[in-house]
Amino acid sequence: MKKYSVIASEAKQSHKKILRDCFLTSFLAMTFSFAFCLPARLLLIVLMAGGLPTAYSFSQGVWTRKADFGGAIRCGAAGFSIGTYGYIGTGNYNGYTNYYQDLWEWNQSTNVWTQKANFPGTARAVTSGFSIGTKGYIGAGFNNGTYYQDFWEWDQNTNTWTQIADFGGNVRYGAVGFSIGTKGYIGTGYNGTAPYTQDFWEWDQVSNSWTQKANFGGTARNVATGFSIGIKGYIGCGYDGISARKDFWEWNQLTNSWSQMANFGGTARDFAIGFSIGAKGYIGTGYTGSSTWSNDFWEWDQATNVWSQKANFGGTTKYAASGFSINSKGYIGSGTDSVNSYNDFWEFDPNGNGVNEIDLENLISVYPNPTKGKINLKISQFEDLKMKSVEVYSVQGDKVYSKDENNFQIDLSTQPDGVYFIHLSTDQGNVTKRIILSH
């Protein structure tokens, strides 16, 4: 079985079933694909499992590939959103080396990634993150045999980090994080010593203090997934030291109590991604055991307690990815399949009907890449596709080039070496390309 490389070496013998290989060398070897959706409302099946219903139904949704994540390929990174911006930071690549501290911001309006101030704690992976107002939070995690419990606050307005009170539980990685109102929540995970944990903690933004709440209702576990809807928080799936799980639990902030909900609609798994959009929760991708990872994607309806299968994740099967939601859209990026790690980044529209009709990502190519300054744009197949504008942004988010015409060559010779994002607007939609300038 493949081993996940960010688990401490001293824990390998007693926890062989969760160890995963991750972060082998593969860079930008992507094939763009669209998610083909199942016909709407084909079937509704209600099964009884352990006295609790597991409900399934099938409906549609659409995935669209956006600009690749701006940093190096990785998995085990934290993700959160603030307003119309999404953030991915920390993570790991290539075994026990190359742990990251960088934080990247994605602009939903421009589809451009911008590097922000580095996470000031030790570089690490499998961290926990959430956001409250205009602040983002990252903490806990793991780096090559060392586990952490320090927590840090990032201010969107000033692009600065401030250390807050250490996580109230013990050191750990693979814990679930989410927020409700002005409170942040962290629970479950692994601290380097068996067994796994099921404690659950609340952080108060006003008092900067942690308070232990009722223990997670399911078995102790690691690398579960979760999200919040209104005053309720949710944790499900994960690995309990024996097998992957598919049970799904709701925590009520008012009563501080856990209730078991309908089991997750897909197969049991760990390292999945979860987020919420409105009154719906979503879980997908993940490691399903026996060196198998998944790209199926499921929606949970808070009102009916029913799981519905949506269009498969648009990228390759993977686990240990990063995710968040912005308004009515969900996002998944990075991750690994134990052979390759990735930096592709995808948008999910639960109200989409079918697949995108034109594959702009593959229709438009930029070359050479890397370039010494002159960049050519090529449109294949559709000769009537019209370029409306071309804009180029640095990783700092500065616009360094702009043309409002059907232009097929860009000259960046006067710009310094680095990574740039070419934002192309056409009469059939927009696409962003990542290019490296090296004189």
Looking at 282, 317, 349, the residue that finishes a domain is 349
Query: Based on the domain organization, do 122 and 218 belong to the same domain?
Result: yes
In-domain check, residue 339:
yes
What confidence tier does 384 reach under pLDDT thresholds 50, 70, 90? low
Give the pLDDT mean for 433-439.
89
245 CB-near residues (< 8 Å, 6+ apart): 218, 219, 221, 224, 236, 237, 238, 239, 268, 270
Is 59 in the same domain as 174? yes
Lowest mean pLDDT among 14-23, 146-155, 268-277: 14-23
Whether residue 141 is contained in a domain is answered as yes
In a domain, 2, yes or no: no
Q: Tell whether 355 is covered by a domain.
A: no
Cα distance between residue 278 and residue 156, in whole Å: 23
Q: Does a structural domain hold residue 252?
A: yes
39 lies in the same domain as 131: yes
Q: How many domains does the chain have?
A: 2
Model confidence at 58, pLDDT cuts 50, 70, 90, reads very low
Q: Please report which confidence band the pLDDT of residue 50 belongs to, taking 50, 70 and 90 as the band edges.
A: very low
pTM, to two decimals: 0.75
Predicted confidence at residue 271, as pLDDT, reads 97
- pLDDT value of position 11: 37
The answer to whether 255 and 217 are in contact (CB under 8 A) is: no
Which helix (H) or strand (E) segment holds residue 361: the answer is helix 360-363
Q: Which CATH number characterizes residue 131's domain?
A: 2.120.10.80
Q: Do both 171 and 250 map to the same domain?
A: yes
95 pLDDT band (50/70/90 cuts)?
A: low
Give the model's pLDDT for residue 6.
36
The verdict on residue 229 lying in a domain is: yes
Last residue of some domain: 305, 323, 349? 349
101, pLDDT greater than 90: yes
For residues 166 and 214, membership in a common domain is answered with: yes
- pLDDT for 174 equals 97
pLDDT of residue 53: 36
For residue 76, report the phi and psi dihedrals to the nearest 5 degrees. Answer: 65, 25
In a domain, 394, yes or no: yes
Report the share of the chain in percent with pLDDT over 90.
67
Chain-wide mean pLDDT for the chain? 84
Q: Tell me, rounded to whole angstroms, the distance of Cα 133 from its chain centroid.
A: 19
pLDDT band, very low/low/confident/very high, at 359 (cuts 50, 70, 90): low
Q: Are residues 148 and 104 in the same domain?
A: yes
Q: Domain span at residue 420?
A: 362-437
pLDDT for 389: 83
- Residue 14 has phi, psi (to 5 degrees) of -85, -10
Any domain includes 14: yes
Stretch 200-213: mean pLDDT: 98
Give yes or no: residues 306 and 421 share one domain.
no
293-319 pLDDT tens trace: 999 999 999 999 999 999 999 999 999
